[in-house]
Every structure is written in structure tokens, then in C-alpha cells.
């Protein structure tokens, strides 16, 4: 009985119900990338307990972008997904505590969502819990 109670509390915590929800951060931060000396737009994105920081990134079209992505303190696995083939962007990466570079060159102006695709059993997906953002590509 005790082991099943501990397992239930752990699973609810992973699902974002209970104490783990306290980690949710309001990440309404915007970053406008500038072109570095190497000709690349560099942006760091950190994922966490149902947030991305920043959650809005502005980049220029036809200039290479390098997102350096990682996950902060979290036992919950997260991903970063950007599906915008019309803009030359196709990303689906697992996040870890080790920063991981992701490179692409956006080819069309527009706003493209990024999100975490993970979901635990019958609970809301991480995206539904607010783990999403937007990459805005400008001319």
C-alpha cells in the first residue's frame, strides 16, 4: 500500500498535478537575435517545468540561426519541436541539461510555433500546459 501511494504521488508530480506545478514559470520573455561576427543568429532557449524561456524569438529570414537549447532543473523529460517546412525549419529534439546546438536557416517570414510534444498517459500534453512559444521570422 505504501509503495503504491508513493508511486501515485510521483506520477501525479510528473503529470504536473500537485507540488511540481509550483515550478511553472511565467516566461513571457522576447529575444531579438542579432547577427554575430560568424554570420549566425545565436539564441539560448531553456525549457523547464512547462515553460520555455524565452518563449518568443525574433530572427531574420535567410540568415542562419543557432538555437542552443537545454532543460533546467527538471526530472521530467522535455522536447523542442518546430514544424515549419514552408520556412525550411524542421526540428524535433529531446532536451537535456547539456546545451545542444540546433541550426537552421529560415527561408520565409512568418510566425512559427515551437513546443514540447511530451505527454504523460491521460494528462494534458506539455504544450497544453503552456510549454510553447513562437519564432517570428522577419525580412
At 78-128, the pLDDT tens digits run 999 999 999 999 999 999 999 999 999 999 999 999 999 999 888 899 999
Predicted pLDDT at 10 = 42
pLDDT band at 69 (very low <50, low <70, confident <90, very high): very high
Expressed as residue numbers, the domain containing 80 is: 24-138
pLDDT band at 22 (very low <50, low <70, confident <90, very high): very low
| Planar angle of CA 16, 17, 22, nearest 5 degrees | 70
Spell out the residues 6+ positions from residue 11 whose beta carbon is closer than 8 angstroms to its own: 120
Q: Is residue 31 one of the residues assigned to a domain?
A: yes
- 24-56 per-position pLDDT tens digit: 344 579 999 999 999 999 999 999 989 999 999
Whether the per-residue pLDDT at 131 is higher than 80: the answer is yes
Residue 93's CATH number? 2.60.40.420
CB-based contact 52:29 (threshold 8 Å): no
C-alpha span between 50 and 132 (Å, rounded) = 8
How many separate domains does the chain show? Answer: 1
Q: Is residue 8 one of the residues assigned to a domain?
A: no
C-alpha span between 133 and 114 (Å, rounded) = 5
Q: Is residue 17 one of the residues assigned to a domain?
A: no
Amino acid at each position: 500500500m505504501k509503495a503504491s501511494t508513493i508511486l501515485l504521488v510521483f506520477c501525479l508530480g510528473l503529470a504536473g498535478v500537485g507540488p511540481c506545478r509550483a515550478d511553472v514559470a511565467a516566461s513571457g520573455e522576447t529575444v531579438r537575435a542579432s547577427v554575430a561576427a560568424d554570420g549566425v543568429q545565436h539564441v539560448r532557449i531553456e525549457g523547464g517545468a512547462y515553460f520555455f524561456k524565452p518563449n518568443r524569438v525574433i530572427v531574420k529570414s535567410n540568415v542562419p540561426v543557432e538555437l542552443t537549447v537545454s532543460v533546467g532543473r527538471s526530472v521530467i523529460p522535455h522536447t523542442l519541436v518546430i514544424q515549419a517546412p514552408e520556412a525550411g525549419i524542421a526540428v524535433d529534439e529531446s532536451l537535456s541539461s547539456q546545451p545542444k546546438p540546433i541550426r537552421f536557416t529560415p527561408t520565409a517570414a512568418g510566425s512559427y510555433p515551437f513546443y514540447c510534444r511530451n505527454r504523460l498517459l491521460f494528462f494534458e500534453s506539455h504544450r497544453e500546459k503552456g510549454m510553447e512559444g513562437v519564432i517570428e521570422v522577419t525580412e
